[in-house]
Structure 1
Amino acid sequence: MDKVNMEEEAVNTEEVIEESMDNIQESDEKELNEETKEEESVEEATAQTEDQESGKKGFFGKKKEKKDKKDEQIEELTDRLKRTMAEFENFRKRTDKEKEQMFEVGAKSIIEKILPTVDNFERGLNAVSEEDKSSPFVEGMNMVYKQLLSSLEECGVKQIEALGKEFDPNLHNAVMHEENEELGENIVSEEFQKGYTYRETVVRYSMVKVVN
């Protein structure tokens, strides 16, 4: 083969190689464009799906915010029940307090009716002479008197201390006054009628004489 033919063959070979490289480059660019389009399509589809899901969530979320009629009725009935229970508790406390007050009033009324009997026992026993105090009759009356006082004390009735005590207008009723240098000022010097309390409340004031 001569030199001219060899050069022509070399040129032909270079042309074939360049053409092949161009075809390969065009094919790569085509594949790259197709892959880019597919990725864009996938991203677009994903975005649409997310938008749809977001819309569904928003729709269902709004639906959940709205209460069911049954739930509203349950809340209303529960509130009414709580109010009724509170009113009943207040009524029970008020009724118990009224019953206690009525009992206190009734007890005081009975005690006030018994106290004159106690006074008569005391007057009768004080009128007995020293010779008759040892008689069975007087001893029996004295035992009944002590038993009556013990029963009243068990019920919450107590005598008010007055003689020799400082005058207290909340416990004593001064009906007489006197001058007495031996006793201090405003001291009870004599007791005409005993006073009584029932559960720390005065049933009858002590009738006394007070030193000015």
Structure 2
Amino acid sequence: MQYRIRDGHPLPHNPFKAIVAPRPIGWISSVDKAGRVNLAPYSFFNGVADDPPMVMFSINDRKVGRRDETKDSLVNVRETGEFVANVVGWELRDAMNLTSGAYAPGEDELAMAGLTAAPSLEVAPPRIAEAPASMECRLVQEIVLPHGDRSMENVMVIGEVVAVHIRDAFLTDGIFDLTKVQPVARCGYKDYAVVRELFSMTRPGGGDAGNMKP
């Protein structure tokens, strides 16, 4: 089966998000100018550099007009230049899903989901105390990308990680233990995946596949 994007696909549902999967979930906490907290998960999220460490998350947003709650993260980052990317572990899957709803601006999703807001070291937005790990970020660049709907645009937010929090329970001999974290990832359709098993590979020449520095 094959198709050109411009012609549309012949399947019951678009397969793109299932092909580019699994995708880590960036659980983004931010604040507005008044200090009100917003929390929302984004499945177009990933690391983009390691020196300095940087992450990105992507939002589809209206070009003009009303403030849509699903875009509060973008509004807040534009206002403050800061956000926190929290890791979604297996035990937090239901809370994450709850915070994905469309709520009125100013609604406290952390409290709604029974989560604890913990202070950050370098930025104003709080981190999620229950998250296995959290990365405090400052805005580096916002990149606007085309959208199929001309009234919309895709916005990629890139942030530099300025502080990291890891819960001790998820460290094993100094390693962030993903088999303990069991991070939840987004797949296509209504599907999710969870990491419960790892394997290692050694690069030709003796290097490791993680590109880690000594």
Which range, TM-score by smaller chain? under 0.3
Greater per-residue helix proportion: 1
Tell me the TM-score normalized by structure 1.
Answer: 0.17
Tell me the TM-score normalized by structure 2.
Answer: 0.17
Higher-RCO chain (CA-CA 8 Å, sequence separation at least 6): 2
